[in-house]
Amino acid sequence: MGGVDMENIFAKRMDNVPSSFISEILKLIDDTEIISFAGGLPNKDLFPVKEIRNAANYQLENYGTEILQYSTTEGYLPLREFIAERYNKNKNLNISAENVLITHGSQQALDLIGKVFLNDNDAVAIEEPGYLGAIQCLSIFSKNFVPIKLENDGLNLEELHIAYENFSPKIIYTVPNFQNPTGISYSFEKRNKIVDLLKSYNTFIIEDDPYGELRYEDEEIESFGKLLPEQTILLGSFSKIVAPGFRIGWLIAPDKIMDKFVIAKQAADLHSNYVGQRIIYQYLKDTDLDKHILDIKATYNSQRLTMIESIERYFPKSVEFTKPNGGMFLWVTLPKNISAVNLLNHSIEKKVAFVPGDPFYVKKSDVNTLRLNYSCSDEKTIEEGIKRLAICIKELIK
């Protein structure tokens, strides 16, 4: 009898790729009464709708037939020049537009990195806990993850050394500023020690920095792109500072490897959304991006402080949590005998949701950690949600 053999038709690379845990949670909480700290979305009330509409109208009215045509794989040159100049000015780097590749968000940049570097069994070093989008994407190319414990100031150096001595990872993926999921930032001292270690190995460090401009306290810390330029690949995005719907991100790489990324990009999609690139560029040209970011920071900082103060007021003292000085998340550690997944099942009944820590690990489950997002709820809602969550935690601790 004919028909498709569903057991054997799919590529082996898909066998252990995790589904999006957050997407599954968001399906469960499609209820307007639920207070959700689960998403990682920017606040839609801060999107510059009027300015983007004006930019779109200008581009379509003046360059309509041009922007609707195919374009170059590398991306719109003035936009790439803008990105390079901003890095050189704000982070004291020395890059040119030729080092910048426009991508469909930084998520596509991760996909290109996997395609360019990874064979089936190549080792990938990753933060523990780490960004679940990177875990999901890179799982397509290799199952050989080497988790490195993330401490309050960055990666555990002893574990990092052992990982490179024993497994020789081709790449190490990091989010050194206001990390997703923990909110932790690497200290200057830890960054330098990581650089000193990696100089001796045949590896690239992936510096994903979607939250770097959302700093509310303290000074900018030098990036790996400055400290180790020949071994660093930078990822960035307009999703958190303009709007995610455009799916406009970028990859910045040294000259010697950029050709490989361009070829992989050509094979994937020819080029990223050209209309979106032109509209984004027009918006950046016509408006003050720094002022817009200041408005975002003012809102998020107020929400961040409210969440920290509410946790200090309502959570049991046995619960630990990070106090990030930027970004969109903080990380909660429950007492060792409490499962965050069990807490979620309980908290949904109380109409509050979050992301349990499980999807942020590659070799652990039923953990006692969880991520809270504060960017999409106002201060009153945050306090009420934390009060409800505190009740759930106290009931499980009993």
Q: What is the CATH number of the domain that holds 92?
A: 3.40.640.10
Same domain, 245 and 368: no
Same domain, 262 and 306: no
Same domain, 225 and 365: no
Lookup: tokens for 291: 């002022």
Same domain, 368 and 267: no
State the DSSP string of 280-338.
HHHHHHHS-HHHHHHHHHHHHHHHHHHHHHHHHHHS-TT-EE---SBSSEEEEE--TT-
Q: Are 33 and 352 in contact (CB under 8 A)?
A: no
Same domain, 240 and 322: no
- Residue 228, pLDDT > 70, answer yes
Among 235, 256, 286, residue at a domain's last position: 286
Q: Is residue 4 part of a domain?
A: no
Cβ contacts of 306 within 8 Å, gap of 6 or more:
374, 379, 382, 383
- The runs of H, that is alpha helices, within 68-144 are 77-90, 105-117, 132-138
Among 237, 261, 286, residue at a domain's last position: 286
- Residue 389 CA to residue 375 CA, distance in Å, equals 17
Per-residue pLDDT reduced to its tens digit, 85-121: 999 999 999 999 999 999 999 999 999 999 999 999 9
Q: Is residue 326 part of a domain?
A: yes
Same domain, 197 and 295: no
pLDDT-derived band at 4 (thresholds 50, 70, 90) equals confident
Same domain, 318 and 271: no
Same domain, 88 and 29: no
Q: Is residue 72 part of a domain?
A: yes
Among 239, 254, 286, residue at a domain's last position: 286
Same domain, 43 and 100: no
* CA atoms 227, 229, 230, 231: torsion sign: positive
Q: Is 295 exposed, middle or buried (0-12, 13-18, 19+ CB in 10 A)?
A: exposed
pLDDT on residue 15: 67
pTM above 0.85, yes or no: yes
Q: What's the rounded mean pLDDT across residues 49-56?
A: 98
* CA atoms 10, 15, 21, 27: torsion sign: positive
Q: What's the rounded mean pLDDT across residues 164-171?
A: 98
| CA-angle at 339, arms to 304 and 182, nearest 5° | 30
Distances from the Cα of 279 to the Cα of 47, 57, 187, 244, 275, angstroms:
14, 9, 36, 13, 6
Strands 100-104, 248-252: pairing kind: antiparallel
Count of domains for the chain: 2
Domain that holds residue 110: 63-286
Q: Is residue 175 part of a domain?
A: yes
Lookup: tokens for 292: 């817009």
Q: Is 233 helix (H, G, I), strand (E, B) or coil?
A: strand
Q: Is residue 354 part of a domain?
A: yes
Distances from the Cα of 8 to the Cα of 44, 383, 384, angstroms:
43, 50, 50
pLDDT on residue 326: 97
Distances from the Cα of 45 to the Cα of 26, 49, 53, 78, angstroms:
20, 9, 15, 28
Same domain, 332 and 247: no
Same domain, 276 and 298: no
Q: Is residue 1 part of a domain?
A: no
Q: Is residue 54 part of a domain?
A: no
Same domain, 213 and 317: no
Cβ contacts of 256 within 8 Å, gap of 6 or more:
none
pLDDT on residue 161: 98
Q: Is residue 5 part of a domain?
A: no
